[in-house]
Amino acid sequence: MRAISTGSTYKIFDDTLRTYEKLPVQTYVVRFDRQTGFYLEKYVDITIPEEKIYGVHIAKIEKVLASFAKFNRSLGVILSGDKGIGKSLFAKLLSIRAMEKGIPLIVVDTYYPGIASYLEAITQETMVLFDEFDKTFGEVRSQDGEASPQTGLLSLFDGISGGKKLYVITCNELYKLNEYLVNRPGRFHYHFRFDYPSALEIREYMMDKIPEERYGEIDEVISFATKVNLNYDCLRAIAFEICAGETFKSAIRDLNIINLYEERYEVILLFKNGYKVSKGHASLDLFGGDEYDINFHDARYNDICTVYFSIKNSTYDLQLGGNIIPAERLEIEYEEDKDLPKEALKAKQAGVSHLLIRRKQARNLHYAV
């Protein structure tokens, strides 16, 4: 028998009861019971299925842990980006390294009213991971008279009470985050934005995953990735099919990777004398044979020409990183010579080289200095 007192209250437990001055270093998940309230439950061990880690994860993880060691208050990290491009892997790697340094991990995967007060009561240095925060805390409606789930956590993330903690949130949709979380480095010091693998990263990954005699399929994969965002989940499935003997073209017909909507592309008209005009946001479907017309103007918004083209005449150029259509496959209607700027008139006389179509990348959310 074991007896525990809280104030003037005594509770009796059996001999399996164990008490600790600190949480043992392992993984926990927050749970709630209507009768007994909040408690921590032992969670599954964090494992990494991949032997090789792609990208700059390790350097960023060491940066976070070094900063956490120097901080005299809590430190927050936002991991944002689309599904399947490395957020969860980064969080797992960070969790493992934190536990190697003696920091327990607490996972929050469900919203419970009052959870902020419970986490504040844990004064031990811990890492608290809010996985898919935009869903868990962004899609829950608060009850009458209560603050929204995210607003209720703001004082927790301020890091001035409840002991020093490493708060990490992953999210797919930034717009679902409270406005007082983004651009607030006092609450979340770091914001790591994850993007889709580049052509070089795709090549490195595929060369690691498929036999050398199938390397000829890699250019096909890279060409496809210029038209559709491919995350590492997609690349893993493609590599599996190629290893099983499929060609990329036959595999992609059966895989759960489909073309749901038109992508946005940058379309550039290049002239033989180096002059160029571009359209920054063109909605195109590179998988069909559709015909398009695009009006181009220069930086001063002077109309230059309208170009008519068909997607079926485009081919992928690995060096330029996009699809090109040669000049002879284009139909071009220029403005009157008298209305053309001097540079554009010279370019017209020199002639068009080709039309380049490149997938529009997501806007970089960080400042480039």
Name, in order, each residue with C-beta under 8 angstroms of 346's C-beta and a sequence gap of 6 or more.
Answer: 273, 275
Q: Which of 92-106, 122-136, 215-229, 354-368 is the most confident on average?
A: 92-106
Q: Is residue 186 domain-shared with residue 238, that is, in the same domain?
A: no
Number of domains in the chain: 3
Q: Is residue 31 domain-shared with residue 148, that is, in the same domain?
A: yes
If we measure between CA atoms, which residue out of 273, 269, 268, 267 comes closest to residue 343? 273
pTM, rounded to two decimals: 0.74
Q: Is residue 189 domain-shared with residue 206, that is, in the same domain?
A: no
Average pLDDT over residues 252-275: 83
pLDDT at 333: 94
236, pLDDT greater than 50:
yes
Domain boundary at 220, 236, 254, which? 254
Q: Is residue 176 domain-shared with residue 273, that is, in the same domain?
A: no
For 329, phi and psi rounded to 5 degrees? -100, 5
Q: Specify the higher pLDDT residue, 320 or 277.
A: 277
Q: Is residue 144 domain-shared with residue 233, that is, in the same domain?
A: no
pLDDT band of 88, cuts 50, 70, 90: confident
290, 310 Cβ separation under 8 angstroms: yes
Q: Could you tell me if residue 87 is inside a domain?
A: yes
Q: Is residue 58 domain-shared with residue 171, that is, in the same domain?
A: yes
Q: Could you tell me if residue 369 is inside a domain?
A: no
Q: Could you tell me if residue 177 is inside a domain?
A: yes
pLDDT at 368: 42
Q: DSSP character for 44?
A: P
CA geometry: angle 32, 35, 41, nearest 5 deg: 35
Q: What is the mean pLDDT of the chain?
A: 85
Domain boundary at 171, 193, 215, which? 193
105, 129 Cβ separation under 8 angstroms: yes
* Structure tokens given for 122: 């844990």
Q: DSSP character for 132?
A: T
187, 154 Cβ separation under 8 angstroms: yes
Q: Could you tell me if residue 245 is inside a domain?
A: yes
- Domain of 249? 199-254
pLDDT band of 6, cuts 50, 70, 90: confident
Distance (Å, rounded) from C-alpha 275 to C-alpha 296? 13
174, 82 Cβ separation under 8 angstroms: no
pLDDT for 149-174, tens place per residue?
777 677 778 766 668 999 999 888 87
Q: Is residue 212 domain-shared with residue 135, that is, in the same domain?
A: no
53, 156 Cβ separation under 8 angstroms: no
CA distance readout (Å), 196 to 36, 47, 202, 233, 354? 44, 23, 9, 11, 27
CA distance readout (Å), 35 to 4, 38, 39? 18, 9, 11
Average pLDDT over residues 296-314: 91
Name, in order, each residue with C-beta under 8 angstroms of 55's C-beta and a sequence gap of 6 or more.
Answer: 86, 201
367, pLDDT greater than 50:
no
User: Which H or E run includes 251?
Assistant: helix 248-254
* Structure tokens given for 177: 């985050």
Q: DSSP character for 212?
A: G
pLDDT band of 103, cuts 50, 70, 90: very high
Q: What is the 3-state secondary structure (H, E, C) of 314-351?
A: CEEECCCCEEEEEHHHCEEEECCHHHCCHHHHHHHHHC
pLDDT for 29-69, tens place per residue?
999 998 888 999 999 888 887 667 776 678 899 999 999 99
Q: Is residue 50 domain-shared with residue 95, that is, in the same domain?
A: yes
Domain boundary at 174, 193, 212, which? 193
- Any long-range contacts for 112-117 (C-beta under 8 Å, 24+ apart)? 112/30, 112/32, 112/38, 113/143, 113/146, 113/152, 114/38, 115/30, 115/32, 115/38, 115/152, 115/153, 116/152, 116/153, 116/155, 116/156
